[in-house]
Amino acid sequence: MISGTTRLIGHIGFPTESFKSPMIYNPYFEREGIDAVVVPMGCEVPDYPSFLKLFFRLSNALGTLITMPHKVTTLSLVDEASPTAAIAGACNAVRRREDGRLEGDLFDGEGFVRGMRRKGRVIEGTHALVVGAGGVGSAIAASLARAGVARITLFDSHPEAALQLAERLKRHYPALEVEVGVNDPAGCDIVVNATPLGMRAGDPLPVEVARVAPSAFVGEVVMTHEITPFLAAVRARGCAFQVGTDMLFEQIPAYFEFFGLPPTTPEALRAAAQLD
């Protein structure tokens, strides 16, 4: 039930047909009696800067979820951004502070880190390989740095993207050891595929699986199907792994904290979700 006291979370992007958040958040809000609602808002690129500011003029605006194609633009529209957002060069959440200033953050990588920790993995002091230095890869790399990895190796088919990400990481985490241009997983404790490889049949694997240690933790960001060819291959080697949808559900509790909502768990969200 939407009433005059309902707080609005705008899910802003374009187009909106593929948005999943309303089918996760809203059934959960209804079940738990939380007086809030996520509303898809289709906003095209030319209108977005003014629309974001206008949304937060609403007295019942709780915050926004930002998706493509606006994540990068959002960084220049907020008054303050977290180090993670600054490193990744994008924001996917905005809230209005009590002084009226807009604050942005990015939770894609936080979802990845929380998923690892809930599976009992230690991140501090480890060596991570992140293949893909685009939006999601940058977010995961930034969150792994924040979580305490000692060394991170970055690889992208566009070398300049990896170099620029490395520079941003070093700026915020001077003690972090950063290597660029290598996608050899040998010796890595964490291996992340942050590329679209695996979405289509016949895609090459992002790394040479035979060189992934069975003790390594492997992460995937592809969400179109749960067990990609890459995950199937590392599973056969005995690796612990995380599927793409884990990252989605693990980051939502971080959004709740950001927006000042009651804490929740991925299990509670999955139980309420109406994605089918």
Q: Cα Rg for the chain, rounded, in angstroms?
A: 19
Spatial strand order in the sheet of 93-96? 36-42, 7-13, 61-66, 93-96, 102-105, 80-81
Say how far apart CA 69 and CA 53 lie, in whole Å.
17
Q: Which of 53, 71, 119, 170 is catalytic?
A: 71
Q: Has 119 been annotated as catalytic?
A: no
Active site residues: 71
